[in-house]
Amino acid sequence: MLVPLAMGWAQNYKEWRAAGGGQDFIRYSALKQINKDNVGKLEVAWTYDTGEASKGSEIQCNPIVIDGVLYAASPLNRVFALDAATGKLKWSFDPFEASGTKTKSKNRGVMYWANGKDKRILAGARFHIWALNAETGRPIQSFGKDGRIDLRENLGRDPEKLTAATTSPGVIYQDTLITGFMTSEGLPSAPGDIRGYDVRTGALRWSFHTIPHPGEFGYETWPKDGWKYLGGANSWPGLTLDEKRGIVFVPTGSAAYDFYGANRHGDNLFANSLIALDAKTGKRKWHFQFVKHDVWDRDLPAAPSLVQAMRNGKLVDAVAQITKSGHLWVFDRETGESLFPWKEVDAPPSPVDGELLARKQPLPLKPEAFSRQKVTEDILTRRTPEAHRVALERFRTIRTGEQFAPPSFEGTFVFPGFDGGGEWGGATFDPETRLMYINANEMAWVLRIVPKPAARGGQSGKALYVRQCAACHREDMGGSPPEFPALTKMSERRKEDVAGVIRKGAGRMPGFGHLGDAAIEAITAYLMTGKDTAPVQTVASDSPIELKYATDGYNKFLDPDGYPAIAPPWGTLNAINLDTGEYAWKIPFGEFPELAAKGMRNTGTENYGGSVVTAGGLLFIGATNHDRKFRAFDKLTGKLLWETLLPASGNATPAVYEVKGRQYVVIAAGGGKSGAPSGGSYVAFALPR
C-alpha cells in the first residue's frame, strides 16, 4: 500500500536542474502531460546538431534545464546553452580554444549554482572545472585561475605528473562545490581525494583522503607508505547529496593497479566503498566497502539514489547503490545500516604469486541479483551450432566460479563483466510506487594475468610498449574501443602530439613522464613506425609502483561472429520493489537489428545510459548500443508503449522538462559504443501542438 506524498512534494520534481534531475539522483519527473494514453503521438520538437561527431566519439551528457534554457556538452566538451523550447543556440564555450586541443571527451553533465544575479554553470573539461556566466557562457575570472580550478593540484604530489579528469558532475551544497574525478587505473595514478571548493572563488575548503594518511581511519588497511605512491580509490561516476541532512554520498572505484595488488596488501579502505560525508566539512559519517582488495575492476559504477522504503509500517529515508556485479544495496541514510539482509562469503585465494586477496567478501541476500552471476556450460550460446562449438571449446580453457573467483594465468571469467551488470547510467527511482529501475548488461569478459617484460637494464620501444601500454591497448595495438582506442594509425598524427599524451596522460591513461625522455621517444617511435628501437634506460625495477604482472587486455567472451558467447538475454531492464525486494517485472532490453530480421528478437544488448520515470506512468530510456531506439515503457508492467529511431544510439540519460506549458523529453544521440556509429546531436520530443 502506498503512502500519500507530502504536500508540495511534486512541485520539487517539475524541473531538471541537475544531472539526474536533481542532486538526489532519482531521475523522476512529476510532469504528466505526456502519459500512457498519448505517448504514441510523440514527435520531434527540435534537433540540435553539435557538428562534432567523429569516429568513436560519444555524448553521455544528461542536460539540465533552468528557466527555459538547456545546458549541455558536445563530443569535444564544448559547453553550450540552447533555448529549451526550440533548440536554438544561445551561447557556446570551448574550454580548449586557447590551447588548440581538440579531443573526444566524456562529459555526463554540468552543474548550476545561483545567488541573486550571480548565476553560474560549472563544467568539467579534462583536469579543469570551469565557472561560466550562465547568461553569456564567459568564464568568471574570479573563480580559481582565469575561471577554472585544476583538479591535479592539492593532492600532495607533483601536479604535472598526475592524470585527472572530470567526467561526471559533482554536487553543490550551499556554496560548496564537491567533486571527485577520474584518474588512471594503471600506475602511476593520482590518489582519489574527494574535495570541497568554494563555489565563488574556487578555493579548496576540505579534502577527504580515500587512501588514508597516517592517523586516519582505515590507514592500517594499506601498506605503511602506500598513501605516498598508490592511487585510485577515486569517485568518477558522480556524487549524490541529501541537502536536508547535509550528507554527500560518495561511490568509489578500485585502487590502482586494478587487477594485481601485490604492492597494496590489505583491504584497501576506502576503495570500492559508499562513503557518507558531512557536506560542510568532509568528515566521514559512515561507510560500506563492497569489495575488499579489488582485483576485478569492481568500481561502483554510478552515483547512488536517495530513496524511501517501507519498513514496519513507516517510510525510511535510504540511499540505494547499484554495482557492476549486478547487485542492489539499500542503506539507511543516517546510520548506514542495510535495509536488506546480507552475508560475508568465503573468497578463494589467488593463484598468482605475490597476491594476497581478502578471504571474506560481502554479498546481499536480497534483492536477487539483476544479472546472472556465473558462466556455466548450460548458458553458452546456441545461436548457431558453430557458435556453440567454439564457445564450448573456449569455455573449457577458462576458469569459472562464483563472484570473487580470482584472476589467473589461464584466464578467469568476470561475469557480469567490467562494464556491469549495473553501469554508469545508474538507477531510477519512482517515489510514487517505490520501484527502482535498473538497466543492466550481461556480458562475460575474460581476465588473464600475464608477466610484464623485465625492467632491468635498457628496454626497446616495443618492450616498453608491451610493459606499459599493452594491458589496455593490447600487444597488437588493437585496443578495446572506445574505452581503449586502437593505436594502429599513430603514423597519421604529429610526433609531438603522440609524445605529449604519453608524457602527460589523458583521461584514464596515466602519464609516463617518470620513464624519462629517452623511453618516451622510443615508445613514440615504435607507435608511429611499428619498428623497434635500440634499448634505452628507464625507471628502476624496484620502484614501489612497478609490478611483476599485468593483464593481456580487456577481452569480451564472444562467438566467431562477434556476438556474446553466452545465451540471451544480453541486456535487461528491471523494476525492483524497494519495500519487498521483489521484482515487479524484468524484460530483455534491446536487440541486434540483423538478428531480429532473422527472427531472433528481444535478445537484449549491451546498454549504456540511464532512464527517466514520470508521473505520467512512463519510463523513458535510450541506452541500447545497436538498435538506436528511444523507448517508453509502462512503468508498472514493462510493456513497450512507444519507440523511435535516433540518429545514433542514445547512450545517455534523458531529461524531462516543461516550457510555457509544453512538456519535452530530450536525449543525446551520441552513439560510438561497441563499434556503433557515432552521432553528435540532441533530439527533443513533445506532443503535437
Mean pLDDT of 336-360: 98
Amino acid identity, position 251: P
Could you tell me the sign of the dihedral formed by the alpha carbons of 290, 295, 296, 297, in that order? positive
318-347 pLDDT per residue, tens: 999 999 999 999 999 999 999 999 999 999
CATH numeric code, 453-546? 1.10.760.10
User: DSSP character for 453?
Assistant: P
Instruction: Give CA–CA dist 647/666, Å, rounded.
Output: 13
Sheet with 435-441, edge to edge strand ranges? 427-430, 435-441, 571-577, 583-588
Q: Are 671 and 665 in contact (CB under 8 A)?
A: no
Site of grid cell 564544448: 78
Q: Are 108 and 169 in contact (CB under 8 A)?
A: yes
Q: What percent of the chain has pLDDT over 90?
A: 81
User: Which of the pair, 51 or 187, is modelled with greater confidence?
Assistant: 51
Contacts of 640 (CB under 8 A, 6+ apart): 631, 632, 633
Where residue 461 falls among pLDDT bands split at 50, 70, 90?
confident
Q: Are 99 and 53 in contact (CB under 8 A)?
A: no
Instruction: Give CA–CA dist 39/228, Å, rounded.
Output: 56
- Give the 3-state secondary structure of 325-379: CCCEEEEECCCCCECCCEEEEECCCCCCCCCCCCCEEEEECCCCCCCCCCCCHHH
Please determine, for residue 390, whether its predicted confidence score (pLDDT) is greater than 90.
yes
DSSP secondary structure, 110-131, as one string? -EEEEETTEEEEEEEETTEEEE
In this prediction, residue 171 carries a pLDDT of 98
Instruction: Give CA–CA dist 423/327, Å, rounded.
Output: 11
Mean pLDDT of 46-75: 96
78-136 pLDDT per residue, tens: 999 999 999 999 999 999 987 766 677 789 999 999 999 999 999 999 999 999 999 99
* Cell numbers describing residue 476: 597488437
Find the radius of gyration of the CA atoms of the chain: 24
What is the rounded end-to-end Cα distance, in angstroms, of the chain? 37
584-631 pLDDT per residue, tens: 999 999 999 999 999 999 999 999 999 999 999 999 999 999 999 999
Averaging pLDDT over each range in 162-171, 324-333, 536-545, which range is the top one?
324-333
- Give the 3-state secondary structure of 589-628: CCCCHHHHCCCCCCCCCCECCCEEEECCCEEEECCECCCC
Please determine, for residue 505, whether its predicted confidence score (pLDDT) is greater than 70.
no
Amino acid identity, position 246: G
Contacts of 281 (CB under 8 A, 6+ apart): 206
| Predicted structure pTM score | 0.92
